[in-house]
Amino acid sequence: LLLILTICHVLSDKSQTYQLLNLIFDTGYYFMPAYVGFSAAKIFNTDRMLGAFIGLMTVHPSWVQIVTANKPFHFLGLPVPLVQYSSTLITAILSVWIMSYIYRFVRKITPGMVKVFMEPMLTMLITGPLVFLVIGPISNWISQGIGFIAMWLYHNAGVIAIPLLAALYPWLVSIGIHKALSPISIQLVATQGFDPIIRVVALCSNMSQAAASLAVGLKTKNKKLKSLALSSSATAYLGGITEPALFGVNLRLKKPMYGAMIGGAIAGVVASFMKLKAFIYVTPAFLSLPMWVSKSENFVVQAIIVIIVASIATFIATWMIGFDDPVDKSQIKEAKKEEKKKFDKDHEKHELHARAKGVLEDVSKVDDPTFASGVMGKGIAVIPSEGKIFAPDDGVVTATFDTHHAIGLHLNNDADVLIHVGIDTVKLRGTGFISYFDKDQHFNKGDELMEFWDPAIKKAGLDDTVMVTVTNSKDFDIKLLKDAGEKVTTIDIVMEVTKK
């Protein structure tokens, strides 16, 4: 806000109004060690007030004056490194972590009647000097090392590091590891004055997630998914909040994630060549474009170019890769209702064709007690002259078997039909059988459902009779139109089924 006000000459950076606003807005950064210490104490299961105390201790005005004076300073004869700790994270995190063990030790040895004042006093008496003598300087080296590595990558390997991170970033977000990169970004802004890597990567990834969700929203036929995808895309574009798009759309459908990875990597290449820099640690999006502006540099145009590149590349990649569009159950139910109404109106009686070529046989006389007894329902049997089974009418496959010797069907008139090739042919374990349809797959009347090699059945000494039964016979009046011994082909109508 201050940047915009000063750039637009609404407010002078010399005015007292500016100074007061700057003081307010800078408080979070200046006293960041206190916030970090307070939060870290919760993670390390120790006293949160002491965690905040450690952070505040490192930004105490007296310590700031000591560092500013830049004169040798000693504690019990030991030299104390003069390190500036405001706007830092790592010192507070490591200090609170070590303090958590000291605090637990102190609690064990402190008598109950003096715990209220002795515990915090002893804890700080041990931890405080350690922070200034050891933990703080080590943390400062770590921070400088992180900054050095990040800047080295920026200057020497940005064209590789940024696209690679941008492609992987959504997966890091999906498991929460991306939060580990936030301290690096904050540290860079605090020490270097800008972040040329982590926020840039986040911009590429966020906009790619938004574009992938947009592509899904425009391509899907599912009304609920369309609404979710478009709203999630808008949220990601405007505020950089990608979780709805990531978890609700792209990760759920899987393939859009690949489109986002491709688009993010391409945008990363463009961003690395333009040496894009973020000057504020916020979530990258359209509403946070001022994050790319400082008093001396302006990368807003470059950021917009990256957004456009990420959007176009991701949209095209996602659209071309495609995704498995989830079926809208409400639409299916409605369609089925309409289909059933039409069928009931047009088909009071339903005629079923023979499923295989051969000679009809009375199903009650087949050498299989289960089918012969009628337990599996009324139907017919065919002694086949050809090893092919065809669909008797339109419907959907409801059951398949690993051995491919049988298939369950649900016809459009709600008749459930089981076609079983041979007796005890399950023993062949699929040898000699081929199935052309999978479960839940639709078929039309006359489609070839399965094929079997008759010699394989006979060689095994098994009966090759094809049995066809309506398993929900109790719901239908079934009339056989052909007699046993008659030859039939797939165009012959052998059964009339009327719903009760």
259 touches 215 (CB < 8 A): yes
Q: Which residues pair with 359 in a beta bridge?
A: 383, 487
Please report where in the chains the tokens 């307010």 appear, as a residue: 24
Q: Which residues, in sequence order, are CB contacts of 383 under 8 Å at separation 6+? A: 358, 359, 361, 464, 465, 466
Active site residue 420: yes
The contacts of residue 235 (CB under 8 Å, 6+ apart) are 241, 244, 245
What does the alpha-carbon distance between residue 257 and residue 381 come to, in Å, rounded to a whole number?
52
How far apart (Å, rounded) are the C-alpha atoms in residues 373 and 378?
9
Helix segments in 356-437, DSSP class H: 369-372
By CB atoms closer than 10 A (0-12, 13-18, 19+), residue 213 is: buried
Give Cβ neighbours of residue 47 (< 8 Å, ≥ 6 apart): 41, 103, 120, 123
The residue from 350, 404, 420, 442 that is catalytic is 420
Region of 394 please: left (phi>0), alpha (psi -120 to 50) or beta.
beta
Judged by DSSP in three states, 228 sits in: helix
Query: Token match 């990597």: residue?
Result: 265
Helix (H) / strand (E) element for 327: namely none
User: Do 34 and 5 contact (CB within 8 A), yes or no?
Assistant: no
Would you say 11 and 17 are in contact if contact means Cβ atoms under 8 Å apart? yes
* Measured CA distances, 106 to 37, 44, 56, 97, 118 (Å): 19, 16, 21, 15, 9
Q: List b or e across 415-445, with b for residues whose CB sees 16 or more CB atoms inside 10 angstroms.
A: bbbbbbbbbebeebeebbbebebeeeeebee
Residue 258, token pair as written in the block: 């690949």
Angle in degrees, CA 130, 136, 141, rounded to 5: 140
- Specify the 3-state DSSP secondary structure of 328: coil
Residues tagged active-site = 420
